[in-house]
């Protein structure tokens, strides 16, 4: 099973981006998506943006991750 995480693009340099996920900054290749812009939300997997997603979808997924983490720490 593969896991991708929602991240927000904070800067773009050619076909590479810096993205923010959970307060951490990662490098992401933009080779698999079109028309990426700063501020877009993407799914990050193995160092690549694999899909653009809406801000609402990103926030909901992050909320679910937090809920899972909280339940594991109880």
Q: What is the per-residue pLDDT across 12-70, written as a single tens digit (0 to 9) for each?
A: 999 999 999 988 999 999 999 999 999 999 999 999 999 999 999 999 999 998 899 88
Sign of the alpha-carbon dihedral angle for 15, 34, 42, 39: positive
φ, ψ for residue 70 (rounded to 5)?
-60, -40
Domain that holds residue 31: 5-72
Q: What is the per-residue pLDDT across 38-48, written as a single tens digit (0 to 9) for each?
A: 999 999 999 99
- How far is 44 from 69, CA to CA, in rounded Å? 19
For residue 51, the domain's CATH number is 2.30.30.140
The token pair at 58 is: 């990103």
State how many domains the chain has: 1
Q: Which residues pair with 19 in a beta bridge?
A: 9, 26
- Compare 52 and 73 and report the one with higher pLDDT: 52
């Amino acid at each position: 099973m593969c896991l991708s995480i929602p991240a927000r693009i904070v800067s773009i340099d050619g076909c590479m981006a810096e993205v923010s996920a959970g307060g951490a900054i990662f490098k992401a290749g933009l080779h698999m998506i079109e028309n990426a812009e700063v501020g877009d939300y993407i799914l990050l997997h193995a160092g690549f943006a694999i899909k653009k997603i809406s801000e609402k979808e990103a926030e909901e997924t992050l909320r679910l991750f937090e809920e899972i983490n909280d339940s594991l720490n109880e």
